[in-house]
Structure 1
Amino acid sequence: METGSITTPFGRRSMTLGMLASQVMAGEIKPDQSVDKWKLFRALCEAKPLLGISDRALAVLNALLSFYPKNELAQENGLIVFPSNIQLSLRTHGMAEQTVRRHLAALVEAGLLLRKDSPNGKRYVRRDRAGEVNEAFGFSLAPLLARAEEIERLAAEVMAERLHVQRLRERITLCRRDIAKLIEAAVEEDVQGDWQGLYLEFRDLVEGVPRSPTTAQLELLLDELTALRAKILKQLEMRMKSTKQRGNADYIERHIQNSNPESTTELEPSFETKQGATPEQDNGRGAVTMEEGRGEIAHPSRQEERQGRRPGARDDAGGLKSFPLGLVLQACPEILAYGANGQIRNWRDLMTAAVTVRSMLGVSPSAYEEAANAMGPENAATVMACILERGGHINSAGGYLRDLTRRSEKGEFAIGPMLMALLRANAPAGRKAG
């Protein structure tokens, strides 16, 4: 039989202990041992990361297996194949002969093939008068048969690892979705908490993962995201319990506001008008009118003061809530360039900048005034900042604003998702207001 003796390579190729060990192992094949060559090849393709072979080397091995006349690799059928490099090049779809030789050497080095070289280094076969193979010189497939169980075990390990990584990625995706939507819900409902900080922590975790993470890195990311989600849920649960104990269903809508209009640290929305109301402001905090260039300041009606409307709250007509000024500027940093001296310290500065942006984008005064009446002046300024931020994706800023106004009047528009999407896009920039 072909594997019954030790052979050394032809020419200047040196003999190594690894080649000797492969020959010894191939000589221990059981007489009745056999394996389907294509099933084994599929297992090799799965196990290639652990075997250290490339896909090009596997293509050469596939060509060698195609020269084996039987589907079952077995000692009784012979285990030597002897195609020339030209034939191998044709069956590897035109691979260069030098490349074929390099990958053949890699397969021998990996212990998947054995060379059985003839005295002159050529590959050929001697047959008897009956046409049966008497002696063949070429490449022995005996190592494949001898290592069949090992290769199938390695393939199973790779498949199990792939399934584990797939499940890790699925759980990470679900955890990311939960965190993003929980933070968005907290911002929508005006729940007190450092949601900007939590969101930035969330983005730092996600963006810190390399393009091709290892299994250990994925497991660590999942643990950190799970802990962050639990932290967010704990804050929301404490808020719900506090609301239930107070017995006030509207409590979750309340928040604390800095009443100083010139404060540089104002992070909460200042006021919101009902649909159809005039965008006015009390205590000297004037709102810029919608007429371009007038810059007039209107004062509130005393009736609104007596009604005790809370700044930033959801009104009875279902109007939009305003969002914290700091959150708006973090999501829409481009609007800062249109503030006085490149700064926006309060809502009045933002609304003044929005009028400038409105003119620059070609939005008519009437379209902006309708938006202010439907959404409230703060929300209209916020939407204008969002339109500026997404200017490259919007063909007609005026038409887009009118569409949002119509949707707002029907109760079909919310600013929260728009702000959160822009916040996600601009999180790495880390620019601050003022």
Structure 2
Amino acid sequence: MAFTQATAPIGLRTSELLSADNSNPERHIVVATLRNAAPRLGLSASVISTLDAMLSCLAPKRNHHTVFASNATLTFRRNGISDRTIRRHAAILKEIGLLERRDSPNRKRFTKHNSLEGTALRFGFDLSPLFARLHEIAAMAAEVLREQEQIDYMRAKIRAAVNASLANNPNDNTALNIFRILRRKLSLQECEQILTDLAVTEVEAEATDDQNSNLTTTMTASDGHFVRHHHKSNKEHIDKEKIALKKEPPLTSSHAPITIPELLSACPEAAEFSLRKIETVHDVVAHARTLAPMIGITSQNYEAAHERLGALRAATTVWAIMQFHDKIKAVGAYFRSITTGSKSEGFSPEKLIRRLATAQNYAT
């Protein structure tokens, strides 16, 4: 690739370079996002591994997304799976809309250049549809993680309710049967149905304390508790984050105010991945929840940062890390360290955003 790039005529470069360093996230981020979104896309782990092998054949800096590797090369990178399996996985990826096959007359994969016209014919596996849908897939991944978090919460709630029922009646067959059902993988709808059918008083959920959040709003006692997940409660439950976001305050800290335009200017990498225009604080937080799984931040780590820093400050931290994530060996571990771990003492997302803004101004 280095030789070809050094000797090819300038006219052959018909479009701007695409690169994991500027336009596209790195391969491991793409694969991690696909794994999280797999339930929505209908992708198996084996097919994702084959797609990972295809992505590994793309040059870091390129002006196309076409894989020219032979089936033999892909088979080798997939630890010896059969050629037939490669073809079957390619067909699945095409059917889902993540890949386009461009076959040459002899079924070989190659590029044919026309130096006079400055054009090229590329025959191979074109992964452009995957990169075009990456924003959509990232949103799916975030949705799956949020749903799984809610399922885990509800399963714990069901267990607590069943335990309360068994404490009153140890021979309650319905409660014992629910314990057996919980051994299986349950959907959100199934969990909701189980909670609906339980003839016990709802288990009370403790409101989370978010004193450090810049988005918190003082509520009176009549406003009830802030509970994020609830079912068939007679109390009025209000989502603290949504209520706070309605006011759409400026991005502020006690020392250094940060506006949304300043955030967008300091973190253009994060802004580029947004499906819609970022105009409100709600947009900032929602987009951060989409970005987090893309760069390797787990739902648990994000929620822990949310609890400690508040909704907005946790979100802006994700935005900032997105700007230089390619320089971090383990993004998830780094995020946990600065938000809730050993380096969290004195950490200020506002200062980090300001340094990035200065770097952007210096670069321009």
TM class by shorter chain equals 0.3 to 0.5
The structure number with the bigger radius of gyration is: 1
Calculate the TM-score normalised by the size of structure 2: 0.45
Higher RCO, 1 vs 2 (CA within 8 Å, ≥6 residues apart)? 2
Calculate the TM-score normalised by the size of structure 1: 0.38
